[in-house]
Amino acid sequence: MLRIYVDYREKNSSVYEFLRKSGVKVFFENLETCDYLVSDRVCVERKTVRDFVKSLFDGRLFDQASRMVTKFEKPVIIVEGEISKIKEITEKISAIYGALVKLAVEMNVTVLWTRSSEDTATVLYLLAKHEQEVLKRVKAVIPKKPRTVDVRSWQLFILQSFPGIGPKLAEKLLEKFGSLDRVFSASATELARIVGYEKAQKIIQILKTPYSKVEEAKKEDILKFFKS
């Protein structure tokens, strides 16, 4: 059975009902990064056309996208509603296209458009089917803090907090390197042999980037975008 984790804020959405009728097993959780989680690597943020435009101009859009990219290998934003309504909301059409380019080219975020909540549910169903049945990806799992002092459980939990790292890859990393200290000290080349090039680069980036510069970079990117 297909399984999708859904954020509690989406509980009143009709998307849930359409998913349930499609035979999808839905689990409600507090998802900090997105609205829907369909596999260990694919997360989905759902926005109406109006919310997409509003989030662009108030700065939320790129902040949300950045958090999705940091945690997941394949982030997706679904924009729900008639595209033609964008012109009724804003005259800054070039800014919308600029945002789409930035999301796709710079941030590697896929943007999909749907006409209704039923269409959104169909896209989510197909994403889950492709990930879980076709590609045999690990079904979405929400890593939770271990309730015990078991060292092994904490080691696995910490590694699963990295983007694209599920239970299986976390275990492989520990089996290969022997400890968290050695995993974190490994080079990108060594990590890539276990998790692949893209995941290795993201791990190194997270470990090596000074925290203050990460926050400054976000603000600078947004300011540059609106000044252009």
Burial 201-224 (b: 16+ CB within 10 A, else e): ebbbeeeeeeeeeeeeeeeeebee
> Average of pLDDT values for 55-72?
90
- Residue 221 pLDDT grade (very low, low, confident, very high; cuts 50, 70, 90): low
| Domain annotation for the chain: domains and CATH numbers | 3-134 (3.40.50.10130), 151-211 (1.10.150.20)
Res 146: pLDDT: 73
Per-residue pLDDT of 99-139, as tens digits, reads: 999 999 999 999 999 999 999 999 999 999 999 999 888 76
Asked if pLDDT for residue 140 goes beyond 80, the answer is: no
What pLDDT was estimated at residue 228? Answer: 46
* Full-model pTM: 0.68
What pLDDT is stored for residue 137 in this prediction?
Answer: 81
Q: What pLDDT is recorded for position 213? A: 56
Q: Which residue has the tokens 């692949």?
A: 196
Three-state DSSP state, 103:
helix
137 compared with 196, residue with greater pLDDT = 196
Q: Which residues 6+ apart lie within 8 Å of 84 measured at CB?
A: none
What residue has token string 């997941």? 72
Q: What is the average pLDDT value for the chain, to the nearest integer? A: 87
What percentage of the chain exceeds 70 in pLDDT?
A: 89
- 196 contacts: CB under 8 Å, gap ≥ 6: none
Task: State residue 202's pLDDT score.
Answer: 87
